[in-house]
Chain A
Amino acid sequence: MEQWTDEPLRIAGIELQSRLLVGTGKYASLEQTEEALKLSGTQMVTVAIRRLDAGATEERCLMDVVRAGGYHVLPNTAGCFDAESAVRTARLARDLLETDLIKLEVLGDPRTLLPDPVGTLAATEQLVGEGFKVMVYTSDDPRLAVHLADLGAASVMPAGSPIGSGRGVLNPTNVQLIMELVDVPVIVDAGVGTASDVAVAMELGAAGVLLNTGIAGARDPLLMARAMRAGCEAGRQAYLAGRIERRLYANASSPEEGLIEEAGPGAANSAGGDKGKDPVGVS
């Protein structure tokens, strides 16, 4: 098969050939993490920042895996429920990992893990002012996304559905509106349960998809990593190819002329032409 190449995804001066961003949490082992990342084809991986236990020096750590794989590392502020702790976490991450990239999460409450819009706006403004390249996790509210982009976010990352819920893109209309309203890359972040969810997000025109639990929580994470990669590429290609319009009635693929005698419906019963177009505008 002839090689097909896409434009790279450009974020904060970085070019990514893979549009899948993958988290490093919840795998069964470091080996599984490493293999899943490799199979997913990702070039940017997320990590969390946590207290370092005294004397917890394992032979090989996540840092080694990330470095050996040559991944761009995107630290997150997961677990922060106010702007101040998210900003502190971002500063620590920058010092630790020597990157200005930060996946900003300011969460509202532990049950839904939905982003808190007020804290998210405040932390975005603060971090952009400190020179961070802020990739901001947000709800799928289009106007909020506009404010975040106006504040200087490098990427706006609406949740498809709550983190780890595996429910896919619950409000495709809003995600589409966000993509129309902001000029920075829109990455669907969170809620992806399976490969078709990734494909749906990419078909909508998302610049990329960020996921973690969808792979790590699968029965076979390594096979799911492959599936997510394929879903991402398929969705991206379908978006660029331009899907057909949705119609209410059928639209024959084979010629309607030249049928043998007495075959086919009478011309009077045919619902051909523009009459078959979707009357309610589903497309």
Chain B
Amino acid sequence: MSGLIGIHLNGEAVQVQKGLCLEELVRERGHASNEVAVEVNRDLVPRPARAEYSLQEEDRVEFVTLVGGG
């Protein structure tokens, strides 16, 4: 199983393919690119930079979107 690494996505432990980029993770999880903003290890990864970011073991990834609020 050397082809998989463990990351945390929205606080949950998940396994992803080694070398997977953020943009691919967004799509793999069924999200449109423009309905999500992404943070890795507390830093924003801007939309254009997602394709260049390869996920690393133990990365803490946040996917967020908008919800109703005041």
Residues of A with Cβ closer than 8 Å to B? 23-27, 33, 46-55, 57, 61-63, 66, 73, 75-76, 78, 88, 91-93, 95-97, 163-164, 190, 210-213
Contact = CB atoms under 8 A, between A and B. Distances in A.
B5 interface: no
Contact of A50 (B35, B46, B64): B64
Interface of B: 9-11, 29-31, 34-39, 42, 44, 46-47, 62-70
A50 B65 contact: yes
B62 to A, nearest CB: 7
B70 A78 contact: yes
Contacts of A93: 37, 66
B68 A97 contact: no
B69 A46 contact: yes
B44 A52 contact: no
Contacts of A25: 67-70
A97 B70 contact: no
B60 to A, nearest CB: 12
Contacts of A48: 66-70
Given A52-B64, A96-B37, A47 B69 contact: yes
B67 A63 contact: no
9 closest cross-chain pairs (CB), A and B: A48-B69, A23-B70, A212-B70, A96-B37, A24-B68, A25-B68, A92-B37, A52-B65, A47-B66
Given A54-B29, A88-B42, A49 B68 contact: no
Contact of B66 (A27, A62, A88, A164): A62
B64 A96 contact: yes
Contacts of A164: 70
Nearest to A21: B70
